[in-house]
Each structure stands twice: as C-alpha cells, then as structure tokens.
Homo-oligomer: A and B are copies of this chain.
Amino acid sequence: MSKMEKYIKKLNDLDFSDMYNNDFILTWEKTDEELEAVFTVADALRHMREENISTKIFDSGLGISLFRDNSTRTRFSFASACNLLGLEVQDLDEGKSQIAHGETVRETANMISFMADVVGIRDDMYIGKGNTYIRNFSKYVEQGNEDGILEQRPSIVNLQCDIDHPTQSMSDMLHLIHEFGGVENLKGKKIAMTWAYSPSYGKPLSVPQGIIGLMTRMGMDVVLAHPEGYEVMSDIEEVAKDNAAKSGGSFTKTNSMEEAFKDADIVYPKSWAPFVAMEKRTELYGNGDSEGIKALEKELLAQNKQHQDWQCTEDLMSLTKDGKALYMHCLPADITGVSCDIGEVDASVFDRYRVPLYKEASFKPYIIAAMILLSKVKDPAKCFAELEEKNTQRQYK
C-alpha cells in the first residue's frame, strides 16, 4: 500500500464530520478522531508537496491573517498554508486598519470577509480578551453568511489566543509522533512542561496551557513545573486532569525543575508570565494606567530574577531518561550567552537539538493547512485521491 493509500484509508476510518464548515479554536473542543484527522491530513499534504503534486483546492479566494501582535513565524506559517491550498493572503494589522473595540468587531468581521475562505487570528495579549474576540468574530461571520451578506462562511483558525495555541501544540505533537514513530508510542512517556528563566517578561501562557491541554490526551505522563506564583489558568489544569484520567496518562504539578526533568522522555522548558500578573496587566491596560504598567513590569522582572536557577542546563538534561530527553521549544528561545546573558537554555543543549527544533517548527504550515482543508472539504479522502490522480506538478522541473 502506498503512503497516500494509507493516509486515505486512515481518513476513511475516522469520524470528523463536525469539522466541516467549522472553526479550530481549542484542541480540547475536538475529539481524538478529529485531532488524528488533522495529523493525517498534515502528513498527506507534506507528502504530496515532497512528491511535487499540487494540493491547490482553491482556484481563487482569500486567507485573512488578523494579528494583534507581531509574529514573523506564525505569519509565514499561515501564509505558507494558504498558498499551499491556493488562497492568497491578505494581512490585517491593527496599525494598518481602523479596527476598534466592542460593536465594531461585528462590522470589521463582515467587511473583510466578503471573499474570505479562512481567517487566522492571533490575539494573545490580554487575558480574557483574545479567545472572546475570536469567538465573537466567528459568531459574526456565521450570522453574516446566514443573512446573505457573505457568500461563504470563512473558517476561523486560532493562531494563538490567551487560552490556547493549537497550531503550536498540534505541530509539537506531530513532531513527537514522528520522533517516537507513532502516536501509540507516546503512551506512558514522561513530558516535562516547565517554566524557565528569561530576562524578558510577559510571555504568553498559551504555550504551556496548550501543551498540558493536548499532551494529556495521549496517555502521556505530563508534569507541569514552575516556581510558586507562576500558575497557569486553573481551568486548563482541570482540562489536563480530565484528559489524563480519560487517556490513562497522568497530570502532576511540581515546583521543582529537577523533579520534572527526572527520567523525562521529553522536556519543554519555556518562560511565561504568571496568570494573575497578566490579569492585572490587562486591567491596567484597560484603565490606561501607564504608571501602573511600568510598576508591574519592574515587579515582574524582579520576581523573575529570583528564579534564575530555572535554566535548562546540561546538568539538568543529564537527569532525564538516559540523559537524552527530547528538548522542545516553540522558538525563539532565550539562549544563555547567545541571545541573552542568562536565559532559558544552555547554548550547548540548544545547539545539540537544533535540527529537531527546526523540524518541530516545520510542521506548523502543514497543521494550519490541514485545519483549513478539513473545514472546507467535505470528503478529504476523495479529494486526496483526485489530486493524486490529477497529478498537477507544483513546480515545473
């Protein structure tokens, strides 16, 4: 059986019918089969690209990238995904536009979606806002389509909000599936999602939250480690607990980086901001209290400094399973002696894992493309069979 036949067979065995004409906002809103469909479609798209087979399912159409925060990497991943499927990207930055708050979200959502097949939204700055914005956007375009304003309902892809970062965690997971030779091999593996020191502050919580919310579904032993005071959203911890109970894995917490690294198969050391501090910052921004923001920033940097020992060093790595745990990061990392004086990870550790780290990132365009395709194509198995049969070359060679 060829690779493509295997992908097609797998898709035919999975139930993911609810993904059609739907959004991808949080991984824990999706069934296991739906997540598996995403991984399968992502692998199939990558395979076809390697084989120089065009996967354009759109002859024309727009993919809107709506970013409230700058991001080269996610922007390029989204653009790559859209292009792979035949959509042209149109960017909407706050700086460029007249986007405002409240009621005007409805208007903007409709005004930019007349010919939009997908809208990728990144809104991770303020706790309690980003996810709400995405959901409102989705509601408004759904309504706009029903009212005959929009010829199509654009699907929404969450490119990072205050709660989850599903395109990141799904890419990370697909990376693990490939590194460990199959999702079934992840069962019982220990993954340490740990806080790490960074000289900057205020990094989003969506990565650790996304990781514990997803990895607990595969029967893995997920350990969340951070200094006291760096708690993530408690709702997501509940999600992780429930997942672990269902999947036969575990979810535990510790305030010791050593304990988390001990015998770990995978480590994911990364800085983030305390949830409560981010709530406070959101409030201060809301009140336009710039003095308060400065004071909070100073306070948080001082708090961070107390935990400079939370670094992913060679010594810590030697505590992991055979001293060879897979090191992961969403990039860019704060590398000690390279991008900063003291940071999240030793340069020698980072260097040793550079190739897997870059591969980890390389899955993101395919994950995003898979999310789009599954929301747009009713029968992806049939679609792939037809694309392979048609065999249009992506590039003249």
Contact = CB atoms under 8 A, between A and B. Distances in A.
Interface of A: 46, 49-50, 54-62, 70-73, 76-77, 79-80, 83-84, 86, 88-90, 92, 96-100, 102-104, 107-108, 110-112, 114-115, 117, 144, 147-151, 331-332, 335, 338-339, 355, 358-359, 361-362, 364-365, 376-378, 383, 386, 392-397
Contacts of A339: 100, 103-104
B395 A76 contact: no
B111 A73 contact: yes
B115 A365 contact: yes
29 contacts: A49-B115, A49-B151, A56-B59, A57-B395, A58-B395, A60-B83, A62-B83, A70-B98, A72-B92, A72-B96, A72-B99, A73-B112, A76-B92, A79-B88, A80-B114, A88-B89, A89-B90, A98-B332, A110-B361, A110-B362, A114-B362, A114-B364, A117-B395, A148-B355, A149-B355, A149-B362, A150-B362, A377-B396, A383-B396
Count copies of this chain in the complex: 3
Contacts of A361: 110-111, 114
B111 A392 contact: no
Contacts of A58: 394-396
A88 B89 CA distance: 9
Given A57-B395, A147-B355, A150-B362, A98 B72 contact: yes
Contacts of A83: 60-62, 88, 115
A97 B386 CA distance: 38
Query: By CB atoms of chain B within 10 A, which of A56, A80, A147 has the most?
Result: A80
A59 B70 contact: no
Contacts of A392: 59
Given A72-B92, A98-B332, A115-B365, A56 B60 contact: yes
Nearest to A97: B72
A396 B377 CA distance: 7
Given A46-B151, A151-B49, A396-B377, A72 B112 contact: yes
B103 A90 contact: no
Contacts of A393: 59
A88 B365 CA distance: 15
With a 10 A CB-CB cut-off, give which of A70, A96, A108, A331 has the most chain B CB atoms.
Answer: A96
**Shortest 6 CB-CB contacts between residues of A and residues of B:** A72-B97, A80-B115, A57-B396, A54-B59, A149-B358, A147-B355
A233 B107 CA distance: 31
A362 B361 CA distance: 38
Contact of A84 (B60, B70, B103): B60
B112 A332 contact: no
Nearest to A364: B114
